[in-house]
């Protein structure tokens, strides 16, 4: 499909990122993005950025420049209502642009495909049913993503929809990385390591291209955080497991824990599944360690002012990332390149430096790659449409 417009839909628990791209050239060209934060609160924000389409004017791919940007405040109780509000605002901001009224295709970021969806592809009734059946694997993410799929299919009937999954990148993990030390019967029910942030890893690999060395570790550090070990650009291991709660500690997620802790809380403090889920996903990680915030910038500012608890939280995080890279060095036989991506990985030079200092004995190089999951989704749609 030449010169088509793709809308990408990327949701979080209280955020929504929409982006429009023109496809048909060497790589997708951004036309507009709409970022929404604070969904479900009384202080939501919507930021719309329009880009000049320099590639069209020059006849070649070039870096787009922001043409205009505006921010508004509002209250959106859920993702579908936020989606409708964003579309209305973009249609007004990009008046007269066909892509703003009706895209040619829509791509949805799906966190977890469960055991049955292993490729990026079209969303039909069967795919939607499989995603619904996979809900127990990602109960915090999939209900929101399914609601947005339903909302977009209703608003844009006849437009092809595509599922781009964070789990696809890790499908090729070797058995020793994919398997949990559980009875085979349980593993056959889909209990294995899936890995996440796959779209971010795919984008990083595509950005590095042929320059990617044989032994590479990518650290996607954001509100959710994980690392992946790559041998010749192929995944060999990753920190997250069955769901996106495990691995290193994150903004408010615990990361890996001694399972005895969970049994103790269930037996001695009457924790049930819902209470454990709240603890592990919303009250732990940097938020739990600092007792202050889940925002790294807030914690860093407090640490710089002498807050010992905030400083300890950051030290804990730095140590956890360095330990993960060290373990991957054992798997890869060394590390040639450590790539930082994600919001924290891109913007916190202080944490990057501390992590690199801990890993000085590996004599590795470091690099920062800006994460762009939406662009990667648009690239997948271009490939799927041929």
Selection from 85, 87, 83, 82 nearest residue 99 by Cα: 87
Order of strands across the sheet that contains 105-110: 65-74, 44-52, 29-37, 15-23, 4-11, 105-110, 161-165, 121-122
Cβ(20)–Cβ(374) below 8 Å = no
> Tokens at residue 178, please?
């994919």
Q: How many CB atoms sit inside 10 A of residue 269's CB?
A: 8
- Contact by Cβ (8 Å): 71, 46: yes
In whole angstroms, give the CA distance from residue 371 to residue 342.
5
Q: What are the pLDDT digits (tens) for 262-313? A: 999 999 999 999 999 999 999 999 999 999 999 999 999 999 999 999 999 9
The mean per-residue pLDDT over the stretch 349-354 comes to 98
Mean pLDDT over the full length of the chain: 94
Q: What DSSP designation does 260 have?
A: H
pLDDT band at 68, cuts 50/70/90? low
pLDDT score, position 57: 35
User: Which pair of structure tokens corresponds to residue 289?
Assistant: 């360690």
Rounded Cα–Cα distance for residues 109 and 136 (Å): 18
Task: Give whole-number Cα distances, 35 to 81, 85, 141, 232, in Å.
Answer: 14, 11, 18, 34
Contact yes or no for 254/214 (Cβ under 8 A): no
- What is the Rg, in whole angstroms, of the alpha carbon atoms belonging to the chain? 21
- Residue 277's pLDDT is what? 96
Domains of the chain (ranges plus CATH)?
Answer: 4-165 (3.30.420.40), 211-368 (3.30.420.40)
Residue 52's pLDDT band (cuts 50, 70, 90): confident
d(CA 123, CA 226): 27
Instruction: Tell me which residues are annotated as active site.
Output: 166
* Residue 63 pLDDT class (50, 70, 90 cuts): low
Q: What is the largest CA-CA distance in the chain?
A: 67
Residue 60 pLDDT class (50, 70, 90 cuts):
very low
Where is 324: in which H helix or E strand? helix 308-332
- In a 10 Å sphere around its CB, with 0-12 CB exposed, 13-18 middle and 19+ buried, how is residue 109 labelled? buried
For 202-243, the pLDDT digits (tens) are: 999 999 999 999 999 999 999 999 999 999 999 999 999 999
Q: pLDDT tens across 112-142, in order?
A: 999 999 999 999 999 999 999 999 999 989 9
For residue 106, the surrounding DSSP H or E stretch is strand 105-110
- Report the 10 Å Cβ neighbour count for 60: 10
């Amino acid at each position: 499909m030449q010169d088509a417009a793709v809308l990408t839909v990327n949701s979080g628990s209280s955020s929504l990122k929409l982006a429009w791209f023109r496809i048909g050239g060497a790589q997708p060209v951004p036309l507009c993005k709409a970022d929404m934060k604070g969904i479900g609160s009384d202080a939501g924000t919507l930021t719309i950025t329009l880009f000049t389409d320099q590639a069209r004017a020059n006849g070649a791919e070039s870096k787009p420049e922001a043409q205009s940007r505006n921010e508004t405040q509002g209250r959106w109780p859920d993702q579908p209502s936020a989606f409708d509000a964003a579309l209305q605002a973009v249609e007004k901001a990009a008046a007269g642009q066909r892509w703003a009224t009706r895209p040619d295709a829509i791509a949805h970021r799906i966190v977890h495909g469960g055991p049955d969806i292993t490729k990026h592809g079209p969303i039909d009734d069967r795919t939607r049913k499989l995603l619904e059946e996979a809900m127990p694997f990602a109960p915090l993410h999939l209900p929101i993503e399914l609601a947005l799929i339903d909302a977009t299919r209703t608003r844009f009937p006849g437009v092809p929809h595509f599922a781009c999954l964070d789990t696809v990148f890790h499908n090729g993990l070797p058995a020793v990385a994919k398997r949990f030390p559980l009875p085979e019967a349980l593993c056959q029910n889909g209990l294995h390591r899936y890995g996440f942030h796959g779209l971010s890893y795919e984008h990083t690999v595509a950005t590095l291209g042929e320059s990617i060395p044989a032994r590479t570790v990518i650290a996607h550090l954001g509100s959710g955080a994980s690392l992946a070990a790559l041998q010749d650009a192929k995944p060999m291991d990753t920190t997250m497991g069955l769901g996106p709660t495990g691995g290193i500690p994150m903004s408010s997620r615990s990361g890996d824990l001694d399972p005895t802790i969970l049994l103790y809380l269930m037996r001695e403090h009457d924790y049930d599944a819902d209470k454990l889920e709240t603890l592990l996903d919303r009250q732990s990680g940097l938020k739990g360690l600092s007792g202050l915030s889940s925002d790294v910038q807030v914690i860093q500012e407090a640490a710089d002012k002498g807050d010992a608890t905030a400083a300890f939280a950051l030290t804990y995080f730095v140590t956890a990332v360095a330990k993960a890279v060290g373990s991957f060095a054992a798997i890869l036989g060394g590390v040639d390149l450590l790539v930082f991506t994600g919001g924290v990985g891109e913007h916190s030079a202080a944490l990057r430096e501390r992590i690199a200092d801990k890993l000085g004995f590996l004599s590795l190089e470091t690099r920062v790659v800006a994460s762009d999951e939406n662009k990667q989704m648009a690239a997948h749609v271009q490939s799927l449409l041929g």
